[in-house]
Structure 1
Amino acid sequence: MRKLIMWNVVTLDGYFEGEKNWDLSFHELVWGKELEEFSLTQLKSADMLVFGAATYKGMADYWTKAEGDEGEIAKLMNEIQKIVCSSTLKTADWNNTIVAKDAVAEISKLKLQGNGDMFVFGSGNLSESLMKAKLFDEFRLCIAPVFLGDGRLLFNQGIPHKKLNLLEAHPLATGGIILRYAPKEESRQ
Structure 2
Amino acid sequence: MRKLIMWNIITLDGYYEGNEPWDLSFHNKVWGPELEQLSIEQLHSADYLIFGRLTYEGMAAYWTNAEGEIADLMNQIPKIVVSQTLSNAEWNNTTLIKENPSEEIFKLKAQQGGYMFVFGSANLSKMLMNDHLFDEYRIGIAPVILGSGRPLFSQGLTPKHLSLVSIQQLVNGGIVLKYIEQPTEDI
Matched, 1:28 2:28: yes
Cα shift at 1:114:
2.9
The match for 1:98 among 85, 95, 105 is 95
Cα shift at 1:27:
0.3
Which residue matches 2:134?
Answer: 136
Per the normalisation by structure 1, the TM-score is 0.95
CA shift digits 1:153-177 (9 cap, x unpaired): 1000111111111000000001000
Which residue type is aligned with residue 31 of structure 1? W
The match for 2:168 among 166, 170, 179 is 170
Map 1:55-70 → 2, pairs under 5 A: 55-67=55-67
Alpha-carbon separation, structure 1, partners of 2:34 and 2:156: 34
Map 1:85-124 → 2, pairs under 5 A: 85-101=82-98, 102-124=100-122
Matched, 1:185 2:180: no
Which residue type is aligned with residue 75 of structure 1? D
Q: RMSD of the alignment, in Å?
A: 0.9
Identity %: 60
CA shift digits 1:78-127 (9 cap, x unpaired): 00000000111121000000001121111111111232100000000000
- Could you list the runs of 4 or more consecutive aligned residues of structure 1 that deviate by over 3 angstroms after TM superposition? none
Quick check: 2:160–2:184 contact (8 Å CA) kept in 1?
no
The match for 2:69 among 69, 72, 97 is 72
The match for 1:146 among 144, 147, 154 is 144
Which residue type is aligned with residue 112 of structure 2? G
CA shift digits 1:19-44 (9 cap, x unpaired): 11001100000000011001100000
Which residue type is aligned with residue 90 of structure 1? S
Which residue type is aligned with residue 16 of structure 2? F
Unaligned stretches of 5+ residues in structure 1: none
Alpha-carbon separation, structure 2, partners of 1:185 and 1:157: 20
Classify the secondary structure of the residue corresponding to 1:120: strand
* Residues paired across the two proteins, number: 184
Alpha-carbon separation, structure 1, partners of 2:101 and 2:112: 17
Quick check: 2:15–2:148 contact (8 Å CA) kept in 1?
yes
Classify the secondary structure of the residue corresponding to 1:107: helix
